[in-house]
Structure 1
């Protein structure tokens, strides 16, 4: 893994009917082909009803794809799984452990992402030890149910301005077409789920996203 923090975060869509491992393989292949493995991170996300054993085994499968390529590998929500599979870190949402507690579990060297939607909580998360912030939903998305109203590029910009140098990763309804606007408004990078999960050619789509983020 290189020294730069990844600008593209690929979040697994492990719902029935999705080829999550195929998408991860394609994304990693694209990063290697584009000679930017340190520009990519893969975040393991599974449904809430998935057992710990299944989440662990899925995490190991993703790790086997990412580690040889030097691609950052994180686990969403389940800190125990992140530790068990020796991930580079984890990402916590609003209903997960608070950032200080998550930092205590993961240790000082791990990457820790936190979901935030507005400047006050974003500043607090960074002060408490978050490495980066996932901000969204930026735009409307059907990938995850029960999400609040989209922030738009302006909402992402407000958080980015509030936290200074801490990387802001915009998530939610993001495709190649939105990258330029989000970057111009202060987003460090983007996270995608559906943009790759339903892509006819996930590898080509990953390459296009990496180029747009460069």
Structure 2
């Protein structure tokens, strides 16, 4: 069945923000929202249904009254029940869905971002008519074991040509000092994990990212 048109979601053109941190707790979500971050992904693994609903509900409460858009990783049922607006799925998550699930996600008004690592995954993601495509890892990452080799910056340019006006998010081992080259290669957004969460002064690093992106905008 055809999936709903992305143009039915007008805010997709400003989404996700150029700086897109990915964190694993409500405390991090609240901290980033207080710093003025526009898009934050909550990626908390291995939760049961009740735990997923609780953390999504709490994260939405933490962003209430701020300009932060919360992206829920994986837990689409909890996202729907809690009233979230943005969802991110990995390839394994996407493979577990049937057409009715994708329709439920869209009917609930959720935007959809999808992770990709190779040509086959890109084709799979495009069939779901996503609101953005994430490509990674761009550089080596120590956060989790990756079965895919680093993509490198040139792949960003190649994939941006292929996805057209769909926003392209670069992820994987990226630091602030590499941001200018990543954007120049064609990325619309950079997803950041360790450069914030493992930084000695995360707040200062976030402000630097926000300042860099404001200058580049």
Which residue of 32, 50, 54 corresponds with 1:53?
50
1:11 to 5, 22, 30: 22
What is the RMSD of the two structures over their aligned residues, measured on CA atoms?
Answer: 2.2
Consecutive unaligned residues of structure 2, counting only runs of 5 or more, are 1-10
Structure 1 Cα separation of the partners of residues 124 and 56 of structure 2: 29
Task: Specify every segment of 5 or more residues in structure 1 that has no aligned partner in the other structure, as ranges.
Answer: 14-19, 32-36
Match of 1:34 in 2: none
The residue that corresponds to 2:164 in the other structure is 164
- Partner Cα separation in structure 2 for residue 83 and residue 175 of structure 1: 33
Does residue 1:107 correspond to 2:118, yes or no? Answer: no
Distance of 2:28 and 2:86 partners within structure 1: 20
Please give the alpha-carbon distance, in whole angstroms, between the structure 2 residues aligned to 1:89 and 1:136: 20
Give the C-alpha shift of residue 81 in structure 1: 1.6
Q: What are the Cα deviations for residues 164-200 of structure 1, in whole angstroms up to 9, with x where unaligned?
A: 1111111111121111111000000111111221123
- Closer, same or farther in 2 for the Cα pair 1:100/1:154, shift >3 Å? farther
Please report the TM-score for the alignment, with normalisation by the length of structure 2.
0.82
Listed one character per residue, the Cα deviations across residues 78-100 of structure 1 (whole Å, up to 9, x for unaligned) are: 21121122111211111112487
Work out whether residues 132 and 166 of structure 2, in 8 Å CA contact, stay in contact via their aligned partners in 1. yes
* Separation (CA, whole Å) in 2 of partners of 1:147 and 1:156: 19
* Mapping for residues 56-205 of structure 1, pairs under 5 Å: 56-98=53-95, 101=99, 103-107=102-106, 109-118=109-118, 121-122=121-122, 125-205=125-205
Structure 1 residue 117, shift from structure 2 partner: 2.6
Q: How much has 1:140 moved relative to structure 2?
A: 0.9
1:107 aligns to what SS in structure 2? Answer: helix
Query: Taking structure 1 as reference, are residues 26 and 162 closer, same or farther at Cα in structure 2, changes over 3 Å only?
Result: same
Residue equivalent to 2:5: none
**Secondary structure of residue in 2 paired with 1:95:** helix
Report the CA distance shift for 1:112/1:176 in structure 2 as closer, same or farther (over 3 A).
same
Q: What TM-score results when the alignment is normalised by the length of structure 1?
A: 0.83
Distance in 2 (alpha carbons) for counterparts of 1:129 and 1:179: 27
